[in-house]
């Protein structure tokens, strides 16, 4: 149990350090990622107004058919593309990527690359 707590403390410390430098605005919101054991969540957040502008996850009903029988990395890439499309509809073309203390590989990297391929400038 101690090892798991150490991992959570490490991630929390890194997350606070990242958040001290990254700020999302209405013109360039913060693309935040959260990974649970089963799902991946992406949000575009305007920190000045404290508002979530766009949110997409593996639980989104529109994406359920597309995500069925996909590996988690593939699903993260699809979700990245979906959030880029939703951002375009709101007129957002640029964002700041917030990896939330996770290492930049696997699911986090796939989500960022999917957002870039979808047309979001990170």
Q: Assign residue 71 a region: left if phi > 0, alpha if psi is -120 to 50, beta otherwise?
A: beta
Average pLDDT estimate for 43-69? 94
List the domain range (segments joined by +) for residue 33. 2-117
What's the confidence (pLDDT) of residue 31? 97
Give the pLDDT band of residue 4 (cuts 50, 70, 90): confident
In sequence order, the β-bridge partners of residue 96 are 30
Task: Give the integer Cα–Cα distance in Å for 77 and 100.
Answer: 17
21 domain-assigned: yes
pLDDT band at 48 (very low <50, low <70, confident <90, very high): very high
**How many Å apart are CA 32 and CA 48, to the nearest integer?**
15
Residue 122 covered by a domain: no
In this structure, is residue 26 part of a structural domain? yes
Residue 6 placed within a domain: yes
**Does residue 97 lie in a domain region?**
yes
**Is residue 93's pLDDT more than 80?**
yes
Is 91 inside a domain boundary?
yes
- Token readout for 90 is 């709101």
- Output the pLDDT for position 97: 96
pLDDT value at 80 more than 90:
yes
Rounded average pLDDT over 66-70: 92
51, HSE (Cβ side, Cα atoms, 13 Å): 8
**pLDDT tens figures, 12-41:** 999 999 989 999 998 999 999 999 999 999
Global confidence as pTM: 0.90
Domain count, the chain: 1
pLDDT at 56 over 90: yes
Could you tell me if 88 and 119 are in contact, meaning their C-beta atoms sit under 8 angstroms apart?
A: yes
CATH number at residue 22: 3.30.420.100
Q: Report the alpha-carbon distance of residue 30 to residue 1 in Å, rounded.
A: 33
């Amino acid at each position: 149990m101690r090892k798991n707590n150490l991992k959570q403390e490490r991630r929390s410390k890194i997350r606070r350090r990242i958040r001290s430098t990254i700020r999302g605005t209405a013109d360039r919101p913060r693309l935040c990622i959260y990974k649970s054991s089963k799902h991946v969540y992406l949000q575009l957040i305007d920190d000045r107004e404290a508002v979530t502008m766009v949110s997409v996850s593996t639980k989104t009903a529109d994406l359920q058919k597309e995500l069925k029988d996909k590996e988690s990395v593939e699903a993260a890439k699809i979700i990245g593309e979906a959030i880029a499309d939703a951002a375009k509809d709101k007129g957002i073309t640029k964002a700041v990527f917030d990896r939330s203390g996770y290492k930049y590989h696997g699911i986090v990297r796939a989500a960022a690359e999917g957002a870039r391929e979808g047309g979001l400038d990170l």
